[in-house]
Amino acid sequence: MSAPLSDEERIVITGIGLTSPNGNTLRDYRESLLEGRSGVTEYEIRYVGKTLAGVCDFDELKYQKRKEVRRGTRAGGIGIYCAHEAINDSGIDWENTDRAKVGIYVGLTEHGNVETENEVYELKGYDYDIAFWSHHHNPRTVANNPAGEISLNLGITGPHYCIGAACAAGNAGVIQGAQMLRLGDCDVALAGGVSESIHTFGIFASFKSQGALATHEDPTKASRPFDVDRNGIVVAEGGAIYVLERLSDAKARSAKIYGELAGYAINSDASDFVLPNPERQAECVEIALGRAGITASEVDIVSTHATGTASGDAQECAALNKVFGNCDNVSINNTKSYIGHAMGAAGVLELSGNLPSFDDGICHPTINVDRLDEECAVPGLVVNEPRQLGEINYILNNSFGMLGINSVVIIKRV
């Protein structure tokens, strides 16, 4: 067994800022999850027409001026809002924080599609005369844009960049932030993920062509992982940014601590563009457990990635059964059933919804499970009603993405 980490090596979450389709603060978001309130609504986008989506409704002008919102991107605006909220929540003395020692690490599924689609569409009205092409196009579409917009808005002169990790990106942002703190690259990390996916018609069109875009007469019931009648993904926007610090620094300022990053892992399937590989997913979970120094039976809550597709849900459940099949105490839930799939923000938003369990002892359920698919019958699955667990010590969060990228983070009570 490896030696215990020092307080300088232990990384903790001291602030959370988020916007989701069913809440713009952690408190409101958590209440929605415990009360079974979906954030999925009717939505219309050009070429695709009427569809369903998870749409955020946060105050864009809370931390930006109208001119800044017009110049920037939706993803950047989400990142700025979440970063400010996280800093405020952390109670850190921001005015006296060395901005050169703050790092920004933002996970993305994709970026630039929205701006390019919008500009091509507008250019059509000018007979494709590129004289009308926006001079803001390049800074809006570079891959580091959302992290860069946060840097500009907050005057942060430390490192900023985005991590492209498909739908595993939110977890990857948190992992990157923790690694940079341990390396001494920064003293404070703003880490997480953002998504503006609902503003590009391409993602809807692609899922629709795959037969993987969810439909339902009741929008709030469209996202239904594990249910036998699930029929696809509900695309969502959103974001969550954490303030990460070394435990020693958090203790020195008597900060509130949401939890400690106890273990993590990222690996690759190397087997298919889209179809997940349950063996590699199970390996990713096992690597994270090993790094945390715990067994599967010590995990209290598993937050699943399950998106509501027939093959994806079943494959993840096969991985879960391999790792947790003999664990009587584990409770398993899903957050996409409330908000849809927030792509690059998915993992960190889903983890955020579970972190309050350390305080209230409750596991929020997966909603919209009317008929459980036998292939998704994993032990401990919490459906439709919250489950009171008592003391919770470990939360494990799965987040997987296309091209076979898998990520797992484990947070423990401090």
Structure tokens at 231: 């029929």
268 and 217 inside one domain: no
258 domain residue, yes or no: no
Is residue 197 a contact partner of residue 139, using CB atoms and an 8 Å limit? no
Is residue 225 a contact partner of residue 69, using CB atoms and an 8 Å limit? no
Domain boundary among 221, 252, 283: 252
4 domain residue, yes or no: no
Where are any strands of DSSP class E within 166-233? 188-195
291 and 342 inside one domain: yes
Domain assignment of residue 222, given as a range: 11-252
d(CA 191, CA 218): 35
221 and 272 inside one domain: no
Beta bridge partners of 105: 161, 191
248 and 279 inside one domain: no
> Around 100, how many Cα atoms within 13 Å sit in the side-chain half-sphere?
0
From the list 167, 284, 327, 363, the catalytic residue is 167
113 domain residue, yes or no: yes
Look over the chain and give the mean of its residue pLDDT values, rounded to a whole number.
97
> Around 156, how many Cα atoms within 13 Å sit in the side-chain half-sphere?
26
pLDDT at 313 (0 to 100): 98
Q: For the chain, what is the domain count?
A: 2
305 is catalytic: yes
From the list 111, 199, 341, 364, the catalytic residue is 341
259 domain residue, yes or no: no
Q: What is the pLDDT of residues 283-306, one digit of tens each?
A: 999 999 999 999 999 999 999 999
Could you tell me what percent of the chain has a pLDDT over 70? 100
188 and 303 inside one domain: no
N- to C-terminal Cα distance for the chain? 21
Is residue 55 a contact partner of residue 43, using CB atoms and an 8 Å limit? yes
341 is catalytic: yes
354 and 239 inside one domain: no
42 and 184 inside one domain: yes
174 and 318 inside one domain: no
Taken in order 41, 37, 407, 77, is the CA torsion positive or negative? Answer: positive
pLDDT at 208 (0 to 100): 97
36 domain residue, yes or no: yes
pLDDT at 3 (0 to 100): 75
Report CA-CA distances (Å) from 309 to 211, 223, 231, 365. Answer: 9, 10, 6, 19
Domain boundary among 252, 285, 312: 252
To which residue do tokens 């800093």 refer?
A: 87
Amino acid, res. 127: D
84 and 18 inside one domain: yes
194 and 296 inside one domain: no
186 is catalytic: no
Q: What is the pLDDT of residues 112-146, one digit of tens each?
A: 999 999 999 999 999 999 999 999 999 999 999 99
d(CA 411, CA 288): 11
Write out the H or E segment, with its range, that includes residue 245.
Answer: strand 238-246
Q: Of all residues in the chain, what percent are helix, strand and coil, respectively (each to 5)?
A: 40, 25, 35
**Diameter of the chain measured on Cα atoms:** 67
Query: What CATH number corresponds to the domain at position 191?
Result: 3.40.47.10
Residue whose C-alpha is closest to residue 56's, from 71, 72, 70, 43: 43
Q: Does pLDDT of 1 surpass 80? A: no
Q: What is the pLDDT of residues 28-79, one digit of tens each?
A: 999 999 999 999 999 999 999 999 999 999 999 999 999 999 999 999 999 9
Report residue 2's pLDDT band, with 50, 70 and 90 as the boundaries: low
96 domain residue, yes or no: yes
d(CA 61, CA 162): 24
Q: Is 59 left (phi over 0), alpha (psi -120 to 50) or beta?
A: beta
360 domain residue, yes or no: yes
Burial 322-361 (b: 16+ CB within 10 A, else e): bbbeebeebbbbbbbbbbbbbbbbbbbbbbbbbbbbbeee
Q: Does pLDDT of 239 surpass 70? A: yes
pLDDT at 340 (0 to 100): 98
Domain boundary among 195, 230, 252: 252
Residue whose C-alpha is closest to residue 299's, from 345, 347, 363, 245: 363
Q: Quick one: DSSP state of residue 53? A: E
Q: Does pLDDT of 308 surpass 80? A: yes
5 domain residue, yes or no: no
Q: What is the pLDDT of residues 261-287, one digit of tens each?
A: 999 999 999 999 999 999 999 999 999
From the list 84, 111, 199, 305, the catalytic residue is 305
Q: What is the pLDDT of residues 357-394, one digit of tens each?
A: 999 999 999 999 999 999 999 999 999 999 999 999 99
121 and 208 inside one domain: yes
Is residue 323 a contact partner of residue 396, using CB atoms and an 8 Å limit? no
298 and 248 inside one domain: no
